[in-house]
Chains A and B, each alone.
Chain A
Amino acid sequence: MRRISRILLPPVFIIAGCGCAEAHAFGVIYNLPIPFWMYAFAASATLALSFLMIGFFVTGQNAERNLRPVEIPDAMPRAGWSILRGLSVLLLLMTMLSGLFGAQRPFNNFSLTFFWIGCVLGFAYLTAVIGDVYTFINPWRVLCDVIERLRPMAFYGRIQYPAWLAYYPALTLYMAFIWLELFGHTTPRSLGLVLLGYTMLNFAAAALFGAEAWFRYGEFFAVFFRLLGKVSPIAYASRMGRGSKTMVRLRRPFVGLLEESADHPSILLFVLFMLSSTAFDGVHETLPWVQVFWKYVYPVLAWAIARPYRFFVGLYYDWQWLMLWLSPFVYFMIYLFFMQVTKFVTGSERPVRELALQFGYSLVPIALVYNISHYFTLLFTDGPRLLPLISDPFGVGWDLFGTVKLMQQPSTVPARIVWHAQVGLIVFGHLVSVYLAHTQALRLFPRGRKALWSQFPMLILMVAFTTAGLWILSLPIGAGQVQDPIPTSSALPAAGTVGSIPAALSANTT
């Protein structure tokens, strides 16, 4: 969520390209790269602890016992859900209205902070703790239910949801959403419009395919929170008896990921995109990554096509977007390769597709801790602003709850705490993932040498993902340190001055 995109642009472009948004940068992460020694420590600890774990639990025949949940019927009364459902719709409307009609300075408007910090980060992490509440309080679903009460059969579904579509709509929307997060430079108004558009899309799709199918496969927040909810020790009974009391199931944390396996490759891509989009966000402003384009790709292109420098600057954006969207497929290829190896070393009869689905959810903890370690500081730096903002959501000088004066001082998290939390979380999440994959492997290959051999491909893959994640966190951030690829003098109006500046920066701040 680095709102600022630091890229190598000649200053000419800066002047041409900016001046559109409010000057305050929103959602800027203040994290320093983790020190190299800490990266080296964490990478070796990851490797050592992974093998230690396999060594200890390789014959863990009792893994299944951990799955036995405790059931509490009637734990959540109907009124409780009703209040939450009402609140959920209210907050959606508040976000849209304050975005569309409120002050457009990001920090004076409820919408951006609540949506990006409160929902996308805060509620996601909360879901990992309290379980998938979102299924019950999904504001768009609630609105559909309300409309259905007035117009029965409105969301019954005109056509059957095509099986081949699977989770691809959710994946596509998720990819568009991450693009918006990283490159969209959302203003309160544009966020309001996007949410309005998404609301319309949900209504249309639910009317077409039926609410049940759409909110299971198409609404990406539902898919996202459902995956995170599996991490939680709390599960809620399905919507079968909607309106009646809900049964709560208690289980050990993370084992929800083993209760069912992925049901389609598209959800695997979704999980892998959770991981790869965070990795991409981490890497796309770092020095080595920026250099890939400007040092290696750009000279070749410039040699091949005679276009002005600014053309390549535009191309650089396209390149970044392409890399973001390709990232889950690259991860998918790597994943499938390791599944092929698993099949080979175990001599399994099962097709690779089935193995891939069986192991897919074991990657969720890695994706989750990676996301947390990237973004959690925002909860402390930007999150407290919600307190004054609820009193004055439109930024027009209200003080509804008397909290407007609170949290005026900027808050930051000390770098040492950030580093330790990042490294600790990543190693912890990695171990959880290794344990889940290990348990799954023992289920599929219960006995003999197969059980032992089946462990390693997944283990190596996870060590690779985790080490790559740690490495990204240790990379220097690129601003102002990369040599400007000197443009040809005819290409730019102000080439003389540009050429003498080794590095230039752009701040497309929101």
Chain B
Amino acid sequence: MTGKVVAFILAGIVVSGILWLKFQPQHGESIMPPAAVAAVPASETPSTSREQAELSPHREIFEIIMRDGKVVSSSTVLRVHEGDEIILKIVSDRSDEVHLHGYDLHADLVPGETTTLAFSATRTGRFGMEMHRSHTELGALEVYPH
């Protein structure tokens, strides 16, 4: 019986190992899922502008615009890679406090002014962003490992 168990475990490791190598993504392939999972209508102009800054290759700039306490954004899931420098600009016409979970970052929003959260995406995972006073969820920051 013990011999059988050992044989099974060995065979199991071999089988799993082969499958692992077979399924593992090729080098350089991103682990991040494709961005457009269900759709923003094509006619809509996304108001979350996501532009690559020229200064650093790993800097991600996001802009979230709120009107009347509502997110006027097309995609509220921000996908970045671990280690990226994130600059999050939030413009709201109401005063509130924004909170990014996991990183535990807070920032006060002043009506009409741009609030900027700048941080390095050191923690991987999916972190919600919310307004503390109006309890509105802004979306989420998804940080994928390399």
Using known A-B contacts A32-B142, A53-B8, A480-B76, determine if residue A507 contacts B137 with beta carbons closer than 8 Å. yes
Contact of A25 among B73, B101, B125 (CB under 8 A): B101
Say if the beta carbon of B115 comes within 8 Å of chain A: no
Q: Chain A's nearest CB lies how many Å from the CB of B46?
A: 9
List chain B residues, Cβ under 8 A from A503. 40, 74, 76
Known interface pairs A482-B38, A483-B41; A14-B136 also in contact (CB < 8 Å):
yes
Q: A56, B69: Cβ atoms under 8 Å?
A: no
Residue of A nearest to B25 (CB): A37
Are B38 and A291 within 8 A (Cβ)? Answer: yes
Write out the residue numbers on chain B whose beta carbons fall within 8 Å of the beta carbon of A502. Answer: 39-41, 44, 74
Contacts of A416 in B (CB 8 A): 124, 145
- In the complex, which of the residues A30, A41, A497 contacts B127, with contact meaning CB atoms closer than 8 Å? A30
Residue count of chain A within 8 Å CB distance of chain B:
63
Tell whether A32 pairs with B126 under 8 Å between CB atoms, given A19-B134, A505-B136: yes
Q: B91 at the A/B interface (Cβ < 8 Å)?
A: no
| Contact residues in A for B83 (Cβ distance below 8 Å) | none
Known interface pairs A30-B125, A56-B8, A477-B126. Does A49 touch B135 (Cβ–Cβ under 8 Å)?
Answer: no
Contact with B along A48-71 (1 / 0, CB 8 A): 110011001100101001000000
**By the criterion CB–CB under 8 Å, are A501 and B72 in contact?**
yes
Q: Given A28-B128, A40-B23, does the pair A481, B123 have CB atoms closer than 8 Å? A: no
In the complex, the answer to whether B68 meets A497 with C-beta atoms within 8 Å is: yes
Given known A-B contacts A57-B8, A476-B37, A509-B130, A415 and B23 have beta carbons under 8 A apart: no
Q: Could you tell me the distance in whole angstroms from the C-beta of B26 to the nearest C-beta in chain A?
A: 10
Check A19 against B135 for contact (C-beta < 8 Å). Answer: yes
CB-defined contacts of B125 to chain A, threshold 8 Å: 30-32, 412-415, 418
- Over the window 66-78 of chain B, the binary record of Cβ atoms lying under 8 Å from chain A Cβ atoms (1 yes, 0 no) is 0111111111110
Complex-state Cα separation, A509 to B123, whole angstroms: 22
A4–B128 contact, CB under 8 A? yes
Complex interface: chain B residues within 8 A of A30 (CB): 101-102, 125-127
**A447 to B111 Cα, complex, angstroms:** 78
Q: Which residue of B lies closest to A482 (CB)?
A: B38
> CB-CB < 8 A to A32: which residues of B?
124-126, 142-144
Q: B75: which of A60, A480, A497, A508 is its contact (CB, 8 Å)?
A: A480
Residues in A whose Cβ lies below 8 Å from that of B70: 11, 14, 497, 501, 504
In the complex, chain B residues whose CB is within 8 Å of the CB of A505: 71, 76, 136-139
Within 8 Å of chain A (Cβ to Cβ): is B33?
A: yes
Contacts of B38 on A, CB cut-off 8 Å?
A: 287, 291, 481-483
Contacts of B22 in A (CB 8 A): 41
Please report the number of residue pairs spanning A and B whose Cβ atoms sit closer than 8 angstroms.
Answer: 177
Contacting residue for B137 out of A48, A409, A479, A500, CB 8 A: A479
Q: Which residues of B contact A287 (CB under 8 A)?
A: 37-38
Chain B residues, Cβ within 8 Å of A25: 101, 128, 130
A306 within 8 A of B: no
CB <8 Å contact, A52 and B71: no
Proximity string of chain A (16-29) to chain B, C-beta cutoff 8 Å, 1 when within and 0 when not: 00110101110010
Contacting residues, chain A, for B101 (C-beta < 8 A): 25, 28, 30, 410
Q: Does B8 lie within 8 Å of A44, measured CB to CB? A: no
Q: Which of B12-53 contact A (CB under 8 A)?
A: 12, 15-16, 19-20, 22-25, 31, 33, 37-41, 44
In the bound complex, residues from chain A placing their C-beta under 8 Å from that of B58 are none
Q: How far is the CB of B104 from chain A (nearest CB, A)?
A: 4
Q: Knowing A56-B11, A57-B4, A504-B70, say if A18 contacts B136 (CB, 8 Å).
A: yes
CA distance A500 to B44 in the complex (A): 8
B39:A483 contact, CB within 8 angstroms:
yes
**Interface pair B75/A481, CB less than 8 Å apart:** yes
Q: Is A485 engaged at the interface, CB distance under 8 Å to the other chain? A: no
Is B135 within 8 A of A21, CB to CB?
Answer: yes
CB distance from B144 to the nearest CB of A (A): 7
Chain B residues whose C-beta falls within 8 Å of the C-beta of A412 in the assembled complex: 102, 123-125
- Which one of B31, B71, B134, B140 lies within 8 Å of A501 (CB-CB)? B71
The smallest C-beta distance from B48 to any residue of chain A, in angstroms, reads 10
Which B residues are in CB contact (< 8 Å) with A477?
Answer: 126, 140
Closest Cβ neighbor of A408 among chain B residues: B104
Q: Which one of B11, B126, B139 has the greatest number of beta carbons of chain A within 10 Å? A: B126
Contact of A23 among B1, B12, B99 (CB under 8 A): B99
- Report if A415-B124 is in contact (Cβ < 8 Å); known contacts: A18-B136, A65-B1, A505-B76: yes
Q: Is B119 an interface residue (CB 8 A)?
A: no
The smallest C-beta distance from A364 to any residue of chain B, in angstroms, reads: 21
Contact in complex: B104, A23 (CB < 8 Å) = no
Interface pair B77/A15, CB less than 8 Å apart: no
CB pair B37–A41 under 8 Å, yes or no, is no
A197 within 8 A of B: no
Residues on A lying within 8 angstroms of B by beta carbon are 4, 6, 11, 14-15, 18-19, 21, 23-25, 28, 30-33, 35-38, 40-41, 44-45, 48-49, 52-53, 56-57, 60, 62, 65, 287, 291, 381, 409-410, 412-416, 418, 427, 476-477, 479-483, 497, 500-509
Known: A28-B101, A500-B44. 10 other contacts (CB 8 A): A6-B137, A18-B134, A44-B19, A45-B19, A60-B1, A287-B37, A287-B38, A483-B40, A501-B70, A507-B130
20 contacts between A and B (CB under 8 A): A14-B136, A25-B128, A41-B23, A41-B24, A44-B19, A44-B23, A48-B15, A48-B19, A52-B8, A52-B12, A57-B8, A291-B38, A412-B124, A414-B125, A476-B37, A480-B139, A497-B70, A504-B70, A505-B71, A509-B135
